[in-house]
Amino acid sequence: MLTQTPPRTVAEQLAVQIRRRVIEMSASPNGVHIGGSLSIADLLAVLYAEVLRDPAGTGPSDDRDHLILSKGQASAGLYAVLASTGIIPEAELATYAQENSRLGGHPMKRLPGVDFSTGALGHGLPLGLGVALAGRRFGHDKRAFVILGDGELQEGSNWEAAMAAAHHGADNLIAIVDRNGWQISGRTDDCMSLEPLTGKWAGFGWRVLTIDGHDHDQIRAALTGPVEPGRPTVVIARTIKARGVPGLEDTKQSHSATLDEQARRRALAALAGDGA
């Protein structure tokens, strides 16, 4: 459960807006990946409020940052933050997963603020590495931030990219692992054990940070602190799937669901004491 403390910062208020909008989108009969969208709400909030340079891509492309949602099934969280920051119209959220909508079940490049279509798991980190290396090759000050699911790390393409990133010294590449412990089939470590996860990344030559993925101070410190020259960074963010929604927190059922009106009201009521 979320604590009932009024949000103090812009990022905290943004996190509340993201969660509420994900719940509102859960009316879609096609279902919404509620759990994975809510587990990254705080990460998205700090990124968009305090870290990313020109996330909408409206200015010169040379020195802007790129956010790649490799776990594309959490598109509702991404759409919520894009609407909350004015990159897409808020009213467009009502079209989520409908025919001819720009807001598909996975994000597509045709949407402002989305640089790459994602959803085939294991592709986001290689794309981020390409962005990072291109920036260095042409002398640009761009950074690539890639949000990965923990279950997604069972895809071998991630580790090929991890090995290549360390070899090429891509210190402008930051991977963020949403370590919520669940995937569609069940507990991630029951399906395929990932531990020792920090040791795996370190063994591939990465700088590794482990944080509470719901603590904005820790997120901020990890994403704005100095990089280690010549080494990519991975932030392993310990999170709770569907954080803030009673009955769905830390459950397999939250992976993809449609909430009826009563369930949505209960979920929004649980978020109502946060002051936003």
Reported as a single tens digit per residue, the pLDDT across 83-120 is 999 999 999 999 999 999 999 999 999 999 999 999 88
The pTM is what?
0.94
**Residues sharing a CB contact under 8 Å with residue 118, sequence separation 6 or more, in sequence order:** 68, 69, 70, 71, 72, 106, 107, 124, 127
Give the pLDDT band (50/70/90) at residue 170: very high
pLDDT, tens digit, for every residue of 59-92? 877 889 999 999 999 999 999 999 999 999 999 9
- Output the pLDDT for position 63: 87
**Residues sharing a CB contact under 8 Å with residue 94, sequence separation 6 or more, in sequence order:** none
- pLDDT of 7 over the 70 cut: no
Give the Cα separation of 204 and 14 in Å (integer).
34
Residue type, position 81, single letter: V
**Residues sharing a CB contact under 8 Å with residue 143, sequence separation 6 or more, in sequence order:** 53, 65, 66, 132, 135, 172, 173, 174
Give the Cα separation of 194 and 234 in Å (integer).
15
Coil/strand/helix, residue 159: helix
Which stretches of 63-153 are DSSP H helices? 75-84, 124-137
Look up tokens 């509420």; give the residue.
20
